[in-house]
């Protein structure tokens, strides 16, 4: 592995072109780097701010080869990039994190088998490739359970709940009769995540433990820091560090956890790139997760992850546009709220179109402010959320 740093003025290649690539590109250009993005789409969130947007299928290996020859290092904006694409890039330039990590984390079964082999705490699961195997797995694991496609799933896509054994046949049809993972559905107290970075020399930094609320299987709110016991936080960070060392990650990795009522942690998923739950760092940390990814893949020392103030992030989904353009001026009346809009051309229900970040004296107060600002845009919360503390100034 090359330890020679890739310095400002160099060109970074990004596979993928969504909002993660957009925020990475903003961080990179601020530090004097050029960015080329590659994806099958045009006028993308990343392409709108990159120096060059290349539009071609990931399977067009000649185009991928030309792309990789024009950059000093390639990194990923999302993990569902074909393995052959990453391999071709690696023939011509540095790829960070490496394609092996991509291969493991883009496939639920491979990821869970890796975690199990290496002794990391996970939820009980079974591989399923036929209806008969599903029926056996349900008997072994019990219900309720979650059936998930083995590959290419995120934000709740490709997931089906099974509440009783007699739902097996219908669920198997619903998932497309394809290789899948059956997981036991456990009762958990909180959903947590740790976003961390690791350098080419093994330097490790993290953003603490984050507390996440999901709505319809999509991240809705993140609070930083999480309201948990110190011992739990230390264990989550330790597991994240061990995972990154085991995988030899160079870049950013997010580990999603379930925290059970008896204080145990179970790893849910891995993401080998900046993560939605780390978006708060763009405004609330000395070094954002996106700059950290840049520093790591360029072989630079990592920056401070100090939290300047407690923060909360709320997602803005396409549903917010159902009745026209959101009321941005109303949200801007909250002076401690930052507005991020991703530049996507079409709003769709469940599609991540942007986010708000609020800073306050506590994470709970930041959450209240962020939710109030989102309400001002035209989004109404369920009643149980409306008694949260809100700091306006």
- Domains identified in the chain and CATH numbers: 11-95 (3.40.50.20), 124-184 (3.30.1490.20), 190-385 (3.30.470.20)
- Give the pLDDT confidence of 15-38 residue by residue, as tens digits: 999 999 999 999 999 999 999 999
Confidence label for 386 from pLDDT (cuts 50, 70 and 90): very low
Confidence label for 93 from pLDDT (cuts 50, 70 and 90): very high
Gap between the Cα atoms of 268 and 98, Å rounded: 22
* Adjacent-strand bridge partners of 74: 13, 95
- Give the pLDDT confidence of 177-236 residue by residue, as tens digits: 999 999 999 999 999 999 999 999 999 999 999 999 999 889 999 999 999 999 999 999
Q: Can you tell me which residue has the tokens 């409306």? A: 386
- Give the pLDDT confidence of 105-132 residue by residue, as tens digits: 989 999 999 999 999 999 999 999 999 9
- Check pLDDT > 70 for residue 156: no
- Check pLDDT > 50 for residue 266: yes
User: Can you tell me whether residue 304 is helix, strand or coil?
Assistant: coil
Average pLDDT, the chain: 94
Kindly state the average pLDDT of the residues 265-292: 97
Confidence label for 331 from pLDDT (cuts 50, 70 and 90): very high
Per-residue confidence (pLDDT) for residue 364, from 0 to 100: 98
**Edge-to-edge strand ranges of the sheet holding 180-184:** 125-128, 180-184, 145-149, 159-162
User: Can you tell me whether residue 173 is helix, strand or coil?
Assistant: helix
Confidence label for 323 from pLDDT (cuts 50, 70 and 90): confident
DSSP symbols for 212-273: EEEETTEEEEEEES----HHHHHHHHHHHHHHHHHHT--EEEEEEEEE-TTS-EEEEEEESS
Question: Whole-structure pTM over 0.85, yes or no?
Answer: yes
Per-residue confidence (pLDDT) for residue 388, from 0 to 100: 53
- Check pLDDT > 90 for residue 155: no
Confidence label for 79 from pLDDT (cuts 50, 70 and 90): confident
Q: How far is CA 128 from CA 105, 136, 158, 163, 240, in A?
A: 18, 9, 14, 17, 28
Per-residue confidence (pLDDT) for residue 384, from 0 to 100: 38
Per-residue confidence (pLDDT) for residue 152, from 0 to 100: 63
Confidence label for 1 from pLDDT (cuts 50, 70 and 90): low
- Check pLDDT > 70 for residue 154: no
Angle at CA of residue 149, ends 148 and 155, nearest 5°: 70
Give the helix/strand (H/E) hosting 205. strand 204-215
- Give the pLDDT confidence of 226-258 residue by residue, as tens digits: 999 999 999 999 999 999 999 999 999 999 999
Confidence label for 383 from pLDDT (cuts 50, 70 and 90): very low
Gap between the Cα atoms of 17 and 37, Å rounded: 6
């Amino acid at each position: 592995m090359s330890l020679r740093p890739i310095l400002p003025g160099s060109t970074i290649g990004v596979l993928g072109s969504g909002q993660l690539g957009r925020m990475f590109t903003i961080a990179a250009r601020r530090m004097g780097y050029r960015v080329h993005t590659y994806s099958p789409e045009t006028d993308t969130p990343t392409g709108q701010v990159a120096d060059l947007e290349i539009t071609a299928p990931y399977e067009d290996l000649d185009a991928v080869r030309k792309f990789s020859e024009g950059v000093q290092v390639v990194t990923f904006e999302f993990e569902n990039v074909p393995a052959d694409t990453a391999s071709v890039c690696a023939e011509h330039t540095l790829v960070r994190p490496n394609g092996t990590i991509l291969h493991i984390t883009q496939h639920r079964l491979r990821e869970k088998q890796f975690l199990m082999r290496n002794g990391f705490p996970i939820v009980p699961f079974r591989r399923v490739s036929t209806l008969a195997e599903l029926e056996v797995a349900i008997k072994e694991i019990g219900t309720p359970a979650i059936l998930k496609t083995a590959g290419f799933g995120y934000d709740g896509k490709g997931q089906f709940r099974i509440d009783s054994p007699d739902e097996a046949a219908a669920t198997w049809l619903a998932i497309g009769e394809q290789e899948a993972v059956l997981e036991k559905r456990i009762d958990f107290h909180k959903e947590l995540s740790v976003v961390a970075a690791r350098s080419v020399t093994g330097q490790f930094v993290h953003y603490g433990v984050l507390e996440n609320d999901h709505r319809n299987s999509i991240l809705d709110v993140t609070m930083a820091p999480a309201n948990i016991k110190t011992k739990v936080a230390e264990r989550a960070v330790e597991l994240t560090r061990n995972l990154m060392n085991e995988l030899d990650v160079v870049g950013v990795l997010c580990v999603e956890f379930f925290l059970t009522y008896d204080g145990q942690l179970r790893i849910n998923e891995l993401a080998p790139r900046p993560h939605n739950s780390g978006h708060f760092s763009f405004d609330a940390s000395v070094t954002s997760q996106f700059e950290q990814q840049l520093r790591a893949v360029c072989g630079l020392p990592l920056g401070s992850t100090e939290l300047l103030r407690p923060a909360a992030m709320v997602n803005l989904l396409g549903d917010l546009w159902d009745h026209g353009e959101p009321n941005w001026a109303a949200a801007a009346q909250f002076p401690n709220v930052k507005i991020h809009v991703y530049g996507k051309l079409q709003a769709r229900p469940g599609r991540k179109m942007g986010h708000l970040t609020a800073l306050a004296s506590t994470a709970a107060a930041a959450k209240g402010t962020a939710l109030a600002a989102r309400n001002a845009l035209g989004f109404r919360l369920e009643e149980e959320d409306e008694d949260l503390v809100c700091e306006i100034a």
